[in-house]
């Protein structure tokens, strides 16, 4: 029998958006789990990612990243809607300029998955649509600031844009002589690997700039054969592949889990880059691992891994001129 191959757009539209339906699929009792059935930041998860969760296990580390629970409604004075000061650092439509030589361009407000710990879960994305006018303004800002050597495409998830929009944007950036690098931050290779098509990789390889793709994986269970094949395609486009993770309570906060993640990433040809302390976005406090515990974990990891597999432990601080490297 012929297997029907779905496009990535079909996979995206058929993902779970209802907690009850997801619980049923995962053989979990829907009513006993502290689940939030309605949230301004709704449940969203591709089926392919849900397939990697263990059925019947409410503590599955992938499920815990995406299942809305009532802890998100608790308020804490040190957690807020803009924890890293993105809004104050917005210079032109969608362009965030915090660090020397680099700007971040918000290309879309959409993601393939809604991660409960997301630092932009409360971000005002109304203006996030990638219009021609928005590109013109952003390109104009980058052209005028000749010390910018790197543009970071962010969101939302920039790889959710159509190939046409990505190609158009890269073409515009290619024309700016003082730019050396285009960095793309995306969780798509992890959560919707079918999006990494040959056509997309071809357009990346056609760029005159050095392309860096930072994937966002937090746990080794996320890394299956489909993710491996997506990473291989990206590598063939000659892009550099890095990973950054967020340190998340009861998800990846043991040295064994972090080591297993680094080892598997390297097997996929991806270098572990950053391990972030949680940004204090409202609704995410239950994911927080304190700095002292994080440093202790890093010390354990360093004893067991070669240096190139040890990510830098960092945190972002509003107003700081760079990420704060803790260990
Ligand atoms: S993919 Fe990234 S931007 Fe999107 S919800 Fe997850 S952490 Fe946030």
**Domain ranges within the chain, ordered by starting residue:** 8-73, 90-325
Q: How many CB atoms lie within 10 A of CB 37?
A: 12
Confirm or reject: Cβ of 111 under 6 Å from ligand 1: yes
- Pocket test residue of 83, 111, 154 for ligand 1, highest count of atoms within 8 A of CB: 111
* Distance, CA of 102 to CA of 150 (rounded, Å): 5
pLDDT band with cut points at 50, 70 and 90 for residue 1? low
CATH superfamily entry for domain 90-325: Aldolase class I (3.20.20.70)
pLDDT band with cut points at 50, 70 and 90 for residue 48? very high
Question: Residue 300: exposed, middle, or buried by beta-carbon count in 10 A (0-12, 13-18, 19+)?
Answer: middle
Percent of the chain with pLDDT over 70: 98
Three-state DSSP class for residue 213: strand
Element (H, E) at 35: none
Atom 8 of ligand 1 has which residue's CA nearest to it? 118
Three-state DSSP class for residue 133: helix
**pLDDT in the model for residue 134:** 86
Instruction: Please tell me the distance between residue 187's alpha carbon and the centre of ligand 1 in angstroms.
Output: 7
Paired tokens of 153: 């495409």
pLDDT band with cut points at 50, 70 and 90 for residue 207? very high
Instruction: Please tell me the distance between residue 156's alpha carbon and the centre of ligand 1 in angstroms.
Output: 6
Atom 6 of ligand 1 has which residue's CA nearest to it? 115
Instruction: Please tell me the distance between residue 121's alpha carbon and the centre of ligand 1 in angstroms.
Output: 8
Q: How many CB atoms lie within 10 A of CB 283?
A: 25
Q: What is the pTM of this model?
A: 0.95
* Distance, CA of 80 to CA of 169 (rounded, Å): 32
Query: Average pLDDT in the 142-162 region?
Result: 96
First to last CA, the chain: 54
Quickly tell me which residue has 């515009």 as its tokens. 172
């Amino acid at each position: 029998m012929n297997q029907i191959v779905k496009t990535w757009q079909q996979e995206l539209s058929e993902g779970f958006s209802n907690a009850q339906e997801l619980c049923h699929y995962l053989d979990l009792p829907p009513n006993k789990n502290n689940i939030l059935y309605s949230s301004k930041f709704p449940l969203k998860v591709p089926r392919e990612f849900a397939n990697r969760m263990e059925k019947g296990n409410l503590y599955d580390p992938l499920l815990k990243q995406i299942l809305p629970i009532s802890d998100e409604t608790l308020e804490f004075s040190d957690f807020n809607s803009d924890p890293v000061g993105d809004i104050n650092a917005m210079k032109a439509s969608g362009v965030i300029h915090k660090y020397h030589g680099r700007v971040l361009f918000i290309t879309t407000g959409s993601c393939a998955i809604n991660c409960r710990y997301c630092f932009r879960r409360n971000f005002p994305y109304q203006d996030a649509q990638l219009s021609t006018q928005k590109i013109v303004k952003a390109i104009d800002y980058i052209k005028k600031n000749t010390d910018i050597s790197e543009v970071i495409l962010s969101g939302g998830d920039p790889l959710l844009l159509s190939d046409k929009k990505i190609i158009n944007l890269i073409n515009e950036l290619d024309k700016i002589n003082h730019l050396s690098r285009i960095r793309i931050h995306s969780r798509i290779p992890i959560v919707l690997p079918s999006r990494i098509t040959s056509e997309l990789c071809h357009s990346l390889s056609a760029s005159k700039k050095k392309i860096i793709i930072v994937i966002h994986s937090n746990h080794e269970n996320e890394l299956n054969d489909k993710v491996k094949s997506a990473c291989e395609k990206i590598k063939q486009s000659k892009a550099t592949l890095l990973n950054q993770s967020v340190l998340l309570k009861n998800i990846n906060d043991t040295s064994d889990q972090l080591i297993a993640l680094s080892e598997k990433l390297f097997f996929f040809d991806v270098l572990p880059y950053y391990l972030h302390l949680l940004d204090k976005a409202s609704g995410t406090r239950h994911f927080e691992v304190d700095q002292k515990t994080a440093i202790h974990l890093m010390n354990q990891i360093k004893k067991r891994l070669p240096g190139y597999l040890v990510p830098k432990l960092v945190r972002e601080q509003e107003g700081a001129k760079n990420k704060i490297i803790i260990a």
